[in-house]
Structure 1
């Protein structure tokens, strides 16, 4: 029995069956440096998924490790019942970068909890339990966030503390409006929103929660400006706009620091997580001060924004800014796309290559009809990548979309190497 076989047997004995694992033979990652990781059996991989878009600046980055080590040697935990200087400093930075006027920040431990906090604020301000969400969306694994997740594979129950209505999204490849140009597609989505508001709601909707680019949904990218047109409708009704930036924040899209900035949007609330901690459990919600102050009951966050994670997040954010990783995301994303985009012309089984910056999706389909999802092909390409020393992710409603999202610090040489491995894996599966 190998090390991985032993770990898998132990995993299945004590962990629930619904805890998803990648790969036919799951692996354990035990060491990492830069954009490379090593598994429990000593094999090295180029990491193009970063712990689900979380290891944002790379593994074992000295500046981040030193900040964590120094803070751990002084104070690991106090709770928010005490003043926490690293948390305050981090909130000051995020409030400034958010572009939201008079912003305040509340820290949590995960994107799920951040979205829960945004729902708390929105429903308190609007005195409503009605929420709008997007079809094919993903917002977390808690009761309320699963209840507004528009992807059946990740939402096992119809029960929810909120009344949720779903609106058309920006997923053009499978949309009934996909044949329209950008302006026509945007108009169709806006018309659908108006129809949902008119026919399905009582009018006093609390908020609409939007991923600028759907992450788990397969890195689906709407036309620029579309969410701005949606916000115009929301403003007519006083509905708050919540931008779920858990996967799109911190410059990952390359063109902008936040995903909403491609759309002329000014969000009322913005949720963040993943990359800011570079693996540490930190997330949060930022919004206008009068909104964030609207919750009148006492509250604390036992672990959110604690000294250790805040110090690590501050170092991570400073690394992103000092090394202009947003620009690097744009440059290296373009290099990867230059290799992957032609695969859609070479192979009928590649339905679409899409994305922005270092969020790149490859949708695999039946080569005969060019539309039927092919999750088996996606799984086979993932396995081929693994055997060639590359880690990528998978998503989409049908599990047929490859997700390529390396750390923002990926080099040109690594971008070329990873893209070449992935292209070869596609050819080995679809060209057979």
Structure 2
């Protein structure tokens, strides 16, 4: 037996000995988070941090929220698992809540365990329904780490293989900052992207496309936020070819954008399917697809999900939706998000590192650049992440070049906490900018 001795070995070193090299960790001295309350977490180093990343957007309501923790504890005292071969009352109740809120005609809901699995399910549905493996995805997209989802991911650093079960065409997204159409106004930019989409369908596909998949606001892509008319124009093109629209709401769902319950609703589009995961169970493993009945029922084979619809995750999901509604968290995301966006934009006017501030609600990206240019500044981004940690603030990062700060506090964040984070960020950004200018 190969027993590993751990005497005097740090937790990070133990991680590196038994975990894959491609499971990256933040910081040179990685953190272990051991406890959390509200928007604050305590790490293994004994320090308390203001959490403005929310477990990669999954801890959407915050840590140790009694209404959610109590619902989970109550369910664990009854039954942990039964499988979807039996009726699960909480699963049906959660599906009813999602169906009532989803901007989809005659919806049906299927539960899985993650965002990757949810997108895989959407691909299974659409490719089976259309008899085609052709998919249109967006440049800068991220849809998961599994075989099919990696194939539809438009970020080089997240694409582990060129092998694919899908034939993917990558269309323009709403990321104007580095777009060849970025010099155009919103209406002209949108028209150019829609025209290019039509050209791609006509020249790069057989015409029988299984689906078009898009994140309303791109997550790992650095919170690229399209102009308001963008997806209406896209949907008009898709409808001409009868191509189903799949909205990937894994990060933008449940009111986090502050503009609508699901990200795509803000754009006035009714998709044929939506994927969801992450925040719905406030950190527990969950995912799913809500789709039009005809599309959902297109599978002509047996299919179940052993752990999808798990009673514990369903209890958490029901509690989360109830909490969002009863505490008006979508409105809070809008109010606090607008304050964060406007304040960060004001800071950017005197900080040469900040190329663009963008996003909606509590999905905010700050793109960092080499001063006086648009050259991505990943070194400064890593420095800001580390300095913020040293100052007691946890952030995320993303973007095509790894140079975008991701600011995603739980939807329960208060104005005082937002101002605390802003004060820390302003100080840290100024410090790193000064170091950049002198180096």
TM-score tier by shorter-chain length is over 0.9
TM-score, normalisation: structure 2: 0.96
Match of 1:367 among 355, 365, 371: 371
Match of 1:205 among 203, 209, 221: 209
Match of 1:310 among 302, 309, 314: 314
Q: Equivalent residue for 1:420?
A: 423
1:251 aligns with 2:251: no
Match of 1:399 among 398, 402, 408: 402
How far does residue 265 in structure 1 lie from its aligned partner after superposition? 0.6
1:53/1:4 Cα in 2 relative to 1: closer, same or farther (>3 Å)? Answer: farther
1:389 aligns with 2:392: yes
Q: Give the distance between the partners of 1:227 and 1:420, measured in 2 at CA.
A: 36
Match of 1:46 among 43, 50, 56: 50
**1:49, 1:392 within 8 Å by CA — same for their partners in 2?**
yes
**1:339, 1:420 within 8 Å by CA — same for their partners in 2?**
no
Secondary structure of the residue that 2:188 maps to in structure 1?
helix
Match of 2:272 among 268, 274, 294: 268
Secondary structure of the residue that 1:352 maps to in structure 2?
strand
What's the CA shift string for 1:88-118, capped at 9, x where partnerless? 0000000111021211000010000000000
Q: Equivalent residue for 1:337?
A: 341
What's the CA shift string for 1:372-423, capped at 9, x where partnerless? 0000000000011000100000000110000000000001111111121112
What's the CA shift string for 1:203-234, capped at 9, x where partnerless? 10010000000000001111002011101111
Q: Point out 4+ residue stretches in structure 1 off by more than 3 angstroms.
A: none
Secondary structure of the residue that 1:203 maps to in structure 2?
coil
Secondary structure of the residue that 2:265 maps to in structure 1?
helix
Q: Equivalent residue for 2:222?
A: 218
**1:211, 1:245 within 8 Å by CA — same for their partners in 2?**
yes
How far does residue 343 in structure 1 lie from its aligned partner after superposition? 2.4
| 1:68-87 correspondence to structure 2 within 5 Å | 68-87=72-91
What's the CA shift string for 1:303-335, capped at 9, x where partnerless? 111111100111011101110100000111122
Q: Equivalent residue for 1:429?
A: 432
**1:255, 1:326 within 8 Å by CA — same for their partners in 2?**
yes
| 1:100-119 correspondence to structure 2 within 5 Å | 100-119=104-123
Secondary structure of the residue that 2:359 maps to in structure 1?
strand
Total equivalences in the alignment: 430
How far does residue 5 in structure 1 lie from its aligned partner after superposition? 6.8
1:4/1:52 Cα in 2 relative to 1: closer, same or farther (>3 Å)? Answer: farther
How far does residue 368 in structure 1 lie from its aligned partner after superposition? 2.9
Q: Give the distance between the partners of 2:428 and 2:308, measured in 1 at CA.
A: 41
Match of 1:324 among 325, 328, 338: 328
How far does residue 4 in structure 1 lie from its aligned partner after superposition? 11
Q: Give the distance between the partners of 1:339 and 1:229, measured in 2 at CA.
A: 31
Gaps of at least 5 residues in structure 1 are: none
